[in-house]
């Protein structure tokens, strides 16, 4: 049986227990207390019982602690899955977004996530989910917009001309007549006097 790996000498049991009290990371505190017990002379089996782990995990903690100190006992973040798209493919997607779809070729008048995902599969043979593509586009600086699609036969400047016509000032005479008509509709009318009905009394 091989001898256990010794702990580094620039720390002690009291230091590790002090760090365990200050840290807000529960797993790190548990590991610090297990290694503090080793500094106090406990066996690796006893340290494993304190940490609630096996001997191999204790050995890994010792290696990480000797290499990086208390920071080596923190949980590292998982790198996650690598991106499905490379830089060349991202540049091609950016060019396709900027140029816009061709209705006769792509069958749409504006890009949706599902349309771009279909184009990516046809172009690069990469199946990508809408959520994943959305994250990729946000990382590239694009945001999801719900713009009204423009008709391919729309005349240039038609919308601007319509806005200018609607923004013209209304004639003052028309406004005056409209106000007078409105007042006449809401002015209370004089009530006609109630009709008097005279009935002849019947003779008894």
**Last residue of one domain, picked from the residues 139, 167, 183:** 139
Residue 64 within a domain:
yes
- 68 and 25 in a single domain? The answer is yes
* Structural domains in the chain (count): 2
Whether 128 and 93 map to the same domain: the answer is yes
Integer Cα distance of 11 and 38 in angstroms: 12
Residue 24 lies in a domain: yes
Residue 154 to residue 159: CA distance in whole angstroms: 9
This prediction has a pTM of: 0.42
**pLDDT confidence of residue 190:** 54
- Same-domain status, 96 and 60: no
Phi, psi for 150 (deg, rounded to 5)? -95, 130
Return the pLDDT at 109.
Answer: 87
Residue 73 and residue 32 in contact, taking contact as beta carbons nearer than 8 Å:
yes
Answer yes or no: is 7 within a domain.
no
Q: How many residues does the chain have?
A: 204
Is residue 37 a part of any domain in this protein?
yes
Domain that holds residue 37: 13-73
Using a 10 angstrom Cβ sphere, with 0-12 exposed, 13-18 middle and 19 or more buried, the burial of residue 61 is buried
CB 8 within 8 A of CB 38: no
pLDDT at 160: 72
Establish if 132 belongs to a structural domain. Answer: yes
Q: Compute mean pLDDT per 10 residues along the chain, 204 residues long, and list them.
A: 86 94 93 96 94 94 94 77 87 91 87 91 91 89 64 63 64 54 59 50 50
Q: Cα 147 vs. chain centroid, distance in angstroms?
A: 20
């Amino acid at each position: 049986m091989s001898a256990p790996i010794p702990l580094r000498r620039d720390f002690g049991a009291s230091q590790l227990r002090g760090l365990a009290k200050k840290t807000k990371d529960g797993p790190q505190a548990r590991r610090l207390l297990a290694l503090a017990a080793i500094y106090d002379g406990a066996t690796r089996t006893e340290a494993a019982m304190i940490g609630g782990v096996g001997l191999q995990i204790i050995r890994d903690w010792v290696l990480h602690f000797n290499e990086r100190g208390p920071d080596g006992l923190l949980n590292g973040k998982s790198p996650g899955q690598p991106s499905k798209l490379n830089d060349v493919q991202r540049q091609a997607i950016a060019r396709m977004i900027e140029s816009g779809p061709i209705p006769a070729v792509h069958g749409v008048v504006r890009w949706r996530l599902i349309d771009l995902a279909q184009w990516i599969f046809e172009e690069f043979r990469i199946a990508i989910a809408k959520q994943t593509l959305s994250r990729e586009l946000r990382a590239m600086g694009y945001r999801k917009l719900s713009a009204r699609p423009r008709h391919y036969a729309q005349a240039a400047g038609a919308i601007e001309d319509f806005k200018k016509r609607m923004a013209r000032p209304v004639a003052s005479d028309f406004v005056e007549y409209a106000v007078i008509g409105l007042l006449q509709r809401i002015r209370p009318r004089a009530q006609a006097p109630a009709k008097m009905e005279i009935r002849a009394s019947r003779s008894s």
